[in-house]
């Protein structure tokens, strides 16, 4: 977010809600994750420990990172490093909780649940979710 080089649809949603209700983006991210988890109910998806931890830890990490990382990151090189670091952290974090078989994150579980329910390709389901957000 601080790199100002673009955000994911979920981050844009969380930022917008955060600004509208004057609550930190980390807290809003956690709340959105639990709303998404509620959407699992009709899909008969079962959350695991990793699912719940993902919903909470991602929001906390966003809040802490925004407090620690300076908004003075004006130079393009620093901004690109922030983007690369963020992508690397998401990749490592996703790899850790997905390979541990402790359950998918809220958004991934919604995707796999809709895929199983509708028979549509994962690519199509994920694209529709991302565009809808």
pLDDT for 75 equals 76
**Number of domains observed in the structure of the chain:** 1
Is 20 domain-assigned? yes
Is 85 domain-assigned? yes
Three-state DSSP class for residue 55: helix
Q: What is the pTM of this model?
A: 0.80
Structural domain boundaries enclosing 24: 9-132
Q: Which residues of 80-107 are buried (b: 16+ CB within 10 A; e: fewer)?
A: eebeeeeeeeeeeeeeebeeeebbbbbb
Instruction: List the single range of 15-19, 101-105, 126-130 with lowest mean pLDDT.
Output: 101-105
User: How many Å apart are CA 100 and CA 66, to the nearest integer?
Assistant: 28
Is 125 domain-assigned? yes
User: How many Å apart are CA 119 and CA 32, to the nearest integer?
Assistant: 26
pLDDT for 5 equals 61
Is 105 domain-assigned? yes
CB 49 within 8 A of CB 103: yes
Is 65 domain-assigned? yes
Is 98 domain-assigned? yes
> CB neighbours of 119 closer than 8 A, spacing ≥ 6?
none
pLDDT for 72 equals 58
Is 3 domain-assigned? no
Torsional sign, CA 99, 105, 108, 114: positive
The 10s digit of each residue's pLDDT in 47-99 is 999 899 999 999 998 888 888 776 656 678 877 888 888 889 888 887 887 78
Is 76 domain-assigned? yes
């Amino acid at each position: 977010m601080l790199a100002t080089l673009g955000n994911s649809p979920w981050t844009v949603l969380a930022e917008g809600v955060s600004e509208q209700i004057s609550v930190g983006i980390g807290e809003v991210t956690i709340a959105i994750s639990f709303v998404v988890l509620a959407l699992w109910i009709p899909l008969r998806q079962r959350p695991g420990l990793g699912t719940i931890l993902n919903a909470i830890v991602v929001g906390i990490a966003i809040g802490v990172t925004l407090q620690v990382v300076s908004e003075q990151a004006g130079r393009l090189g620093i901004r690109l490093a922030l983007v690369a670091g963020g992508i690397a952290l998401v990749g490592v974090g996703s790899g850790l909780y997905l390979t541990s078989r402790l359950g998918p994150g809220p958004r991934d579980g919604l995707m796999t649940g809709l895929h199983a329910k509708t028979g549509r390709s994962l690519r199509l389901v994920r694209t529709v979710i991302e565009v809808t957000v």
